[in-house]
Structure 1
């Protein structure tokens, strides 16, 4: 059976160098599941692997498209599966690395597929919320999909809205679209770096300072015309837009980048806590070699 070694973890934890070590050891290639490193215009703020790192091992989905060509998790899974099939023609293993949990899950496990929501469905949900608030959304979902209503966090208005938009689009329950993903033909082995929090935050501080010294502000300014695109709604870029509009000083932008990076890292730690925690390359190599026999 073909296998995928997945390496996750929070920003600045050392995923890139670890993935390269693993890929070189097993003589294989790397697929990046970092949802911002896809875009060639975003080099500094995404901590893209250096030219030397990219040359050390074959990488895929790094700077291979423009910010004007957004790549959704579903589309990434389609393209990623095609690339994995190509890698598996000459390798039994592939490495997937990144901090974007949704994109990792889309590729390695699959996502539920929903219909494209219609404007009419959006309008109906907006009218219910405007007229009745959260209780109205709860009532509508209980009527449209009692099965999902019994499972969902009923206080989470955004989830209620999302489910209702799907229900109203084709008249089918939201729950009817769940758990229908296509099984993968490979086995995934999940690992994550989980450094001690104080050490991680120190690395984040140093990384942001390094980005600033290497031209992060100038890179963000060059992307000002694209600030509304989904790819630019991310830490390291979105904090510059108010500064460029003179809404707060430069020091505040830098402070927010560091703060938001720490918050993002904290969410990533939570997401990856179900992965097998490792500290270095030797642990993954030993465990995988035991699996491979």
Structure 2
């Protein structure tokens, strides 16, 4: 028997990934490892839909709320922590279950990361000044000229990743996409891996998104954002870009009503889910796509029996 087994459960926002992972983990004695880039940060427990204390007491959960809101946290940083958590699970003869919606985390886990040379501070400072003076649109256009492959897969307003791609190009003279093509073997290379991506009908997903956010509001999401705003953090930090933060800030500033806030968050979430689905379909070769809903956990358990050799 191969002692190194892992289950990967991805899917768009509000698809019920965490509940499915919990059901599977309870059945097989698994360990849940977070693969969501917002849930790694402290705070916003309600708004980022972190599993509650009661759920986390049922089975071990790792990498939830492990970084401060003002700390930088890269895919490489996540991979280090996630790999360590998986090794601990294997040592305890348990199966790690990676669950989340951040495709780059899963990509790094399976395909590895290349060690890109460090970017000199002067280049970082220069590009950040350009971002402040020229704006994100101008730098995105530059990226399209220097590294069209990376530009095509990034959101045109993603300041952090646009800056990172330009930093790598300026420091090495080589596009980030070229570095990524030379990635090393993934951490799970040699392990038995079941890769599942949940799918949800678009109309059903919008209903789920709306119901979930309304529940978040009633549980205290506005108060979470008010506490976050009081810290006066940079708007460029990842946590400040979490879905719902900006509309709730506008609501707290009495710029929009709660009803308008809900509509904006539904739109924001729907657009994010669309980007996730497109990414998953394009990048998740060899994955099994399953419709989310009642019975999907049982289906995953059935597939696990077929995938993992005794």
Give the shorter-chain TM-score range: 0.7 to 0.9
Q: CA deviation at 1:114?
A: 2.2
Which residue of structure 2 lines up, in the alignment, with residue 181 of structure 1? 184
Tell me the SS of whatever aligns to 2:200.
coil
User: 1:254 and 2:257 equivalent?
Assistant: no
Q: Distance in 2 between matches of 1:252 and 1:215?
A: 17
User: 1:200 and 2:205 equivalent?
Assistant: yes
Matched-pair contact (CA < 8 Å) for 2:34–2:100: yes
Which residue of structure 2 lines up, in the alignment, with residue 35 of structure 1? 37
Question: TM-score if structure 1 supplies the norm length?
Answer: 0.82
Paired residues for 1:206-285 under 5 Å: 206-226=211-231, 227-228=233-234, 229-273=237-281, 274=284, 275-279=287-291, 280-285=296-301
Q: Distance in 2 between matches of 1:263 and 1:189?
A: 28
Q: Distance in 1 between matches of 2:44 and 2:21?
A: 21
Question: TM-score if structure 2 supplies the norm length?
Answer: 0.78
Aligned length: 282
Q: CA deviation at 1:117?
A: 2.8
Task: Mark the runs of 5 or more structure 2 residues left unpaired by the alignment.
Answer: none
Matched-pair contact (CA < 8 Å) for 2:150–2:176: no
Q: Distance in 1 between matches of 2:203 and 2:152?
A: 35
Matched-pair contact (CA < 8 Å) for 1:154–1:160: no
1:229-259 residue CA offsets vs partner (Å, 9 max, x unmatched): 3212111212222333444444332221121
Paired residues for 1:127-146 under 5 Å: 137=142, 141=146
Q: Distance in 2 between matches of 1:154 and 1:270?
A: 12
Q: CA deviation at 1:212?
A: 0.8
Matched-pair contact (CA < 8 Å) for 1:137–1:161: no
1:155–1:205 Cα change, 3 Å? closer
Paired residues for 1:7-86 under 5 Å: 7-86=9-88
Paired residues for 1:109-124 under 5 Å: 109-118=111-120, 120-121=122-123, 123=126
Matched-pair contact (CA < 8 Å) for 2:150–2:177: no
Tell me the SS of whatever aligns to 1:201.
helix
1:236-290 residue CA offsets vs partner (Å, 9 max, x unmatched): 2122223334444443322211211111122222223333122401221111111
Further displaced range: 226-235 or 199-208: 226-235
Matched-pair contact (CA < 8 Å) for 2:38–2:238: no
2:96 pairs, out of 94, 115, 118, with 94
1:117–1:211 Cα change, 3 Å? same
Matched-pair contact (CA < 8 Å) for 1:140–1:164: no
Q: Distance in 2 between matches of 1:30 and 1:190?
A: 14
Matched-pair contact (CA < 8 Å) for 1:137–1:160: no
Report the aligned-residue RMSD.
3.3
Which residue of structure 2 lines up, in the alignment, with residue 288 of structure 1? 304
1:276–1:218 Cα change, 3 Å? same
Which residue of structure 2 lines up, in the alignment, with residue 144 of structure 1? none
1:3–1:119 Cα change, 3 Å? same
Task: Mark the runs of 5 or more structure 1 residues left unpaired by the alignment.
Answer: 142-147
1:109-138 residue CA offsets vs partner (Å, 9 max, x unmatched): 3233323333544548959xx7xx79x958
Q: CA deviation at 1:4?
A: 1.4
Larger radius of gyration between Structure 1 and Structure 2: 1
Further displaced range: 273-282 or 210-219: 273-282
